Amino acid sequence: MRPTVRILSLVAAMMCLGHVAPVATLYAQTPLVAPVDSLPPSTAITEGTGQKGDSAYEVPKAFRGIALGMPMDEVKALLKADSLFSYRGDVDVSLLPRPNESIIEVSGLSFVKRAFFQFYEGALFVMIFQLNDSQIDHYSVFTSLSTKYGKPDSLSPSESVWSDGSTRLSVERPLAIKYIDLVVFEKLKQAGAVEQSIEEVLRTDFLDGL
């Protein structure tokens, strides 16, 4: 199995066990500089119906038209049509070790460095966007989301989280945005689909690289 797929196959595991370390922490990062205000309109961070400055909001489920719950074929079509992603077709699709799960991993252009779309039973339930920290910074992303969707429900040095009970949106350091369908996530959690912790994953990857 490719190292990247091995890591991503346990993305849900990390979150189920309460770990907050994002996939993006497995990549080297540099200081952040560019403000969100410099982004053109087509690169808006989120899409949703959040209410500014109000704690009663609906967490967005979509990014650039790709929404949680979408079937894989629709996601593929949107990735192929979007110039922000360098989608190459089925070569970017991998099966995960757990039953009924697969993932699309694509390179991004401009503000998105890399993106991951995880599916369960053919429906999208996790999206992760590793952002390009040479063009956008964590503070600007956090400020933009807070303005649109209110203060985060939880805040720590490693991540800021917005949740409305059905969707979880987080901004994670060094710089990644993660969307999770909580209904599917809880289903997998209750089924005991995840057993390894992030420490076990990193230890295994380290030993494999020796």
Is 209 inside a domain boundary?
no
For residue range 107-141, list pLDDT tens digits in order: 998 889 999 999 999 999 999 999 998 889 999 99
Count of domains observed in the chain = 1
**How far apart are the C-alpha atoms of 183 and 186, rounded to whole Å?**
5
Residue 202 has pLDDT above 80, yes or no: no
* pLDDT score for 104: 94
Structural domain span for residue 110:
3-202
For residue range 64-96, list pLDDT tens digits in order: 999 999 999 999 999 999 999 999 999 999 888
For residue range 166-200, list pLDDT tens digits in order: 999 999 988 999 999 999 988 888 776 544 433 45
Residue 63 has pLDDT above 50, yes or no: yes
Is 197 inside a domain boundary?
yes
Residue 203 has pLDDT above 70, yes or no: no
Q: Read out DSSP for 167-193?
A: EEEEEETTTEEEEEEHHHHHHHHHTT-
Is 208 inside a domain boundary?
no
With pLDDT > 70 as the criterion, what percentage of the chain qualifies? Answer: 64
* pLDDT score for 193: 52
Highest-pLDDT range among 11-20, 44-53, 77-86, 201-210 = 77-86
Is 81 inside a domain boundary?
yes
**Average pLDDT of every residue of the chain:** 74
Is 195 inside a domain boundary?
yes
Q: CA of 196: how far to CAs of 61, 134, 145, 202, in Å?
A: 27, 33, 31, 10
